[in-house]
Amino acid sequence: MRDVLTEWRPVVDGAIEELLPRAVDEAYLTEWFGPASHRYDPEAIQRALSDPVWDLLDRGGKRWRAVVCLLLIDGFGADPHEYLTYACIPEILHNGTIIVDDVEDEARIRRGEPALHHQYGEDIALNAGNAMYFLPLKVVGKNPADLDSGTQLAMYEMLMDELNRTHLGQGMDIYWHRNREAEVAEAEYLEMCACKTGCLGRIVARLAAILTDQSPEIEREIAKYAEDMSIAFQIGDDILDIESTIEGTTEFGKAFGNDIREGKRTLMVIHALSEADAESAERLSSILHKPENTREEILDAIGILQSTDSVEYARECALSFAESARDHLRKVPLEEERATQLASFTEFVIDRDV
């Protein structure tokens, strides 16, 4: 799967560059946003929009959402190159959510460098992030594949449905890590993942299904594949944050003990709070809700997660969701090679090292 991602990443980046060029000029602005009522300032738009977005994109990321969309399109028997621009939609949305999430979470590091709001300012970061929510709608409106109006409408409705739902997940996440007294059940955490992370996964799958005119039943099954895989990805992401802190590595691209510092209610934390003795649970809760943590406090919190086997519990849950994703995938009529690659991806999202 890594080879597939490596092969497609430059192709995806080239397509994104057509949607948001590295060098913004009057011709681009007029073509994509219409003639100016008075006069555009391409230099300002370049510095406040294109530069920060490409700064983030150039730092890394595997573009797996776009690639999975392309594999699905190919697996359904259509030409992925014909729909390349559409496959960029979830990737653009993902990076937009990253920018906004980092502001909301007061994150310091993203992909090994200062988060964009630290590098460019909160105003530029928020504007750039929000712009990336709306740029995909321009793709649907521009209609590069000459889709019929019914297909365009289905894409609009799907995007509105999923993007509204992702903000439910983000709202839950923000409230939990800002309120010490909030009691979070495992099912609520999983619903947050299904909304926040699963949204983009479902967009990947539903785009492919809509573009290739699949039945509602097939669209639902492939969306469940992507949702369950995304939940596995999110749990795996949380585990990576803890393991990279334990190992003292910076390859994960986030600050030391990032999720502990942000007070995140991860599946590991929820499990540990329910399994630890009262004193340890209270200490973990106190660390998570401090505005600043020392290195010793972060390692203490991780020690509690380890003492309750919460890391391994989360890993088993991630593996279970990955298997569920493969079960849904088996119900979808896909070309065999692509089905095999998409099944292997459910393992990659957990076993990856960055």
What is the dihedral angle through the alpha carbons of 213, 215, 219, 225, rounded to the nearest 10 degrees?
A: -110
* Rounded (5°) CA angle 71-76-79: 70
94, two tokens: 């993902």
What is d(CA 305, CA 275) in angstroms, rounded to the nearest whole number?
10
> 250 falls in which pLDDT band (50, 70, 90)?
very low
Alpha helices, H only, 179-266:
186-196, 198-211, 216-247, 258-261
Round the average pLDDT of the chain to a whole number and report it: 93
**Contact by Cβ (8 Å): 145, 171:** no
> Strand runs (DSSP E) across 48-183, as ranges?
109-110, 113-114
Number of domains comprising the chain: 1
Q: Residue 306 is part of a domain; what is its CATH number?
A: 1.10.600.10
Per-residue pLDDT reduced to its tens digit, 37-73 = 999 999 999 999 999 999 999 998 889 999 999 999 9
Q: What is the pTM of this model?
A: 0.91
**Contact by Cβ (8 Å): 199, 94:** no
Contacts of 52 (CB under 8 A, 6+ apart): 99, 116, 119, 120, 124, 125, 128
Residue 283 has pLDDT above 50, yes or no: yes
Residue 106 structural domain: 2-351
